[in-house]
Amino acid sequence: MAKVPRSRPGGGQLQPAVEPIRIGPTTSPPTESRTAEVPQSTPPRTPDGEGPRYLQMARMDARLRPDQVEELSRLRRRLAGRRQYRGERLTENTLLRVAVDLLLTHADQLAGDTEDELRDSVLPDSGTSEVRESGT
């Protein structure tokens, strides 16, 4: 069976292009690549309010306990089910931003050296051991 040559949708034959491997300092300037420019790993933010809302936010990663992830997802589903206006998407990140706003509102009450102490300073009735055991 004969091999069918690959082609681009707009026509024209595809030609493989391989760049030489360079190790250490080179004596000649690197040649221009024939490949398309690789997009940035994070899309540019639009602080002026243009574009999708998530592009207006700064990216930040956080580590959550498995029980927190599960409860956060459960809460998001429950709130999404009760929504009357469905314009803006409700995500776990939305709830995390609300939680950060709530924490920052009570920043003057924060005291302690550990996560448990900090939590207890703003949620004195939380009972740290109960929070971890019950998963709430």
Q: 104 pLDDT exceeds 70?
A: yes
Q: 30 pLDDT exceeds 70?
A: no
Give 10-68 as a DSSP string.
TSSB-----PPP--S--SSPPPPP-SPPPPPSSPPP-TTS-S-GGGGSPP------HHH
Greater pLDDT, 23 or 82: 82
pLDDT, tens digit, 9 for 90 and up, residues 33-76: 544 454 555 555 555 667 787 788 898 999 999 999 999 999 99
67 assigned to some structural domain = yes
95 assigned to some structural domain = yes
Q: 24 pLDDT exceeds 60?
A: yes
66 assigned to some structural domain = yes
Give 16's pLDDT tier (boundaries 50, 70, 90): confident
Structure tokens at 109: 């009450």
Owning domain of residue 102: 61-81+90-134
**CA angle 58-61-62, nearest 5°?**
130
d(CA 33, CA 19) in angstroms, rounded, equals: 7
29 assigned to some structural domain = no
**Whole-number pLDDT of residue 14:** 65
Q: What percent of the chain has pLDDT over 90?
A: 38
Domain count, the chain: 1
111 assigned to some structural domain = yes
Q: Are 111 and 121 in contact (CB under 8 A)?
A: yes
Q: What is the mean pLDDT of residues 81-101?
A: 91
